[in-house]
Copies of this chain bind each other. A is one copy, B any other.
Amino acid sequence: MMHAPTQKQSMLGQGRLSRGRVAQCTRKSIRRSCQVRAGKTSTGPRVAIVGVTGAVGMEFLQILKQRDFPYSSMKMLASARSAGKKVDFDGETYTVEELTENSFGDCDLALFSAGGSATKKFAPAASDAGCTVVDNSSAFRMTDGVPLVVPEINVEAMKDIKLGKGGIIANPNCSTIIALTAVTPIHKAVGVKRMVVSTYQAASGAGQAAMEELELQTREALDGKPITTNIFPRQYAFNLFSHNSDVDVDLGYNEEEMKLVKETAKIWNTKDVKVTGTCVRVPVMRAHAESINLELNAPLTVDEARKLLENAAGVSVIDNRKENDFPTPLVASYNDDVYVGRIRRDISRDDDCGIDLFVCGDQIRKGAALNAVQIAEALL
């Protein structure tokens, strides 16, 4: 049913951590969504990767290659710091160029993962030049007229945007994508009234440097050396902490939690769903986990919920109570699907309108680069 990576593949280590690891595409996800297979072809779009030197940027390249995404030319963009660096892709070596407002005249599609401020500055220029933007940052997610898309959920929201005609499509926040890929099949069946979400978020969500700091700190902690804290203000190794995004001093929610709240409403196109979240970073490298309690508009049995999830695009169910086998971040790492388990009737309710779930997803893939490439595929 699912093609889990071997322990050796998914284990951290083997001489190096996640940088440059060859990604694993599950058979199920290939069957479902790797429809467009071409690679370099004169009829493909002219593509720019913006932020190519980052964690998401590197993953873009792996996913484009793996899915044989069609392209006629490829442009590698990052900041002035990286200009001149070499990047290999699909058998050719490219030189990284500095991102400027003039980078996009000869591009039809730009995959952005360059942070909020660079995106705010350069994505409109790309769009004005007729280059269609798929953006990973939060810069335009809540902007009116910018579709916020998870292809399995609401691909219709981007129907007015055409490749090579400009326009910006936003990729949701990684925690939102992973939660909603699992929860939406249930929402579409019976309606979700309220969600209580607690996250277990990996270092990768904070970029390449955060993963490296977690590795360095872990070595330091094991060796009894002082802990290096450049990226986060506190020890991360063998610890966990409330998500590092800014906290709204009035509400007490951090930005990551508010993204879950607001993006869910936009993606589901409803004001009626209620969400509370607690976002936490745990010392895991790559994939996020989330504990989700659902309050439903109508009764749903566990068997019905499991069936909905088993038939859902982009979802794999691992839910073996007898063997205590449920999703883990390592099983999700380097895989495309969102893994769901611990599917239970909420025993704290007197009715059958409560379901508990535990989900894991590789947030650099489905939580970022893969989702953006799926959006790009839907544009073709």
Residues in A lying within 8 Å of B, measured CB to CB: 7-8, 11-16, 194-196, 198, 200, 215, 218-227, 233-235, 237-242, 244, 246-249, 251-254, 261, 274-276, 278, 280, 282-285, 289, 291, 293, 302, 321-322, 324, 326, 328-330, 341-349, 354, 356, 358
**Chain B residue, CB-CB nearest to A326:** B242
CA A343 to CA B251, docked complex, whole Å: 10
Q: Which residues of B contact A218 (CB under 8 A)?
A: 218, 222
Q: How far is the CB of A318 from chain B (nearest CB, A)?
A: 10
Contact between B196 and A13, CB atoms less than 8 A apart: no
Copy count, this protein chain: 2
> A-B pairs with the 5 shortest C-beta distances?
A252-B344, A274-B348, A198-B198, A13-B224, A198-B291
Q: Which residues of B contact A241 (CB under 8 A)?
A: 326, 328
CA A220 to CA B222, docked complex, whole Å: 12
Known A222-B13, A242-B341, A249-B321: A280·B276 in contact at CB below 8 Å:
no
CA A254 to CA B227, docked complex, whole Å: 36
**Chain B residue, CB-CB nearest to A328:** B241
Contact between B282 and A11, CB atoms less than 8 A apart: no
**Chain B residue, CB-CB nearest to A193:** B348
Contact between B302 and A291, CB atoms less than 8 A apart: no
Contact between B330 and A238, CB atoms less than 8 A apart: yes
B235, B326, B329, B354: the one contacting A239 at CB < 8 Å is B329
B219, B240, B358: the one contacting A278 at CB < 8 Å is B358
Contact between A284 and B11, CB atoms less than 8 A apart: no
Q: Which residues of B contact A282 (CB under 8 A)?
A: 200, 240, 282-284
Q: Which residues of B contact A248 (CB under 8 A)?
A: 321
Q: Which residues of B contact A324 (CB under 8 A)?
A: 233, 242, 244, 246-247, 254
Q: Which residues of B contact A221 (CB under 8 A)?
A: 11-13
Known A219-B222, A321-B247, A328-B239: A276·B252 in contact at CB below 8 Å:
no
Known A-B contacts: A244-B324, A274-B347. Give 6 more (CB < 8 A): A218-B222, A247-B324, A252-B343, A276-B347, A276-B348, A282-B283
Q: Which residues of B contact A254 (CB under 8 A)?
A: 324
Contact between A240 and B284, CB atoms less than 8 A apart: yes
Q: Which residues of B contact A239 (CB under 8 A)?
A: 284, 328-330
Can you show 13 pairs from A to B with CB atoms below 8 A apart? Answer: A13-B221, A198-B198, A198-B278, A218-B218, A233-B324, A234-B328, A238-B329, A247-B322, A252-B302, A253-B344, A276-B293, A276-B356, A278-B358
CA A221 to CA B283, docked complex, whole Å: 13
Contact between A14 and B278, CB atoms less than 8 A apart: no
Known A276-B293, A328-B240: A322·B252 in contact at CB below 8 Å:
no
Q: Which residues of B contact A14 (CB under 8 A)?
A: 224
Q: Which residues of B contact A15 (CB under 8 A)?
A: 224
**Chain B residue, CB-CB nearest to A320:** B247
Q: Which residues of B contact A235 (CB under 8 A)?
A: 7, 11, 330
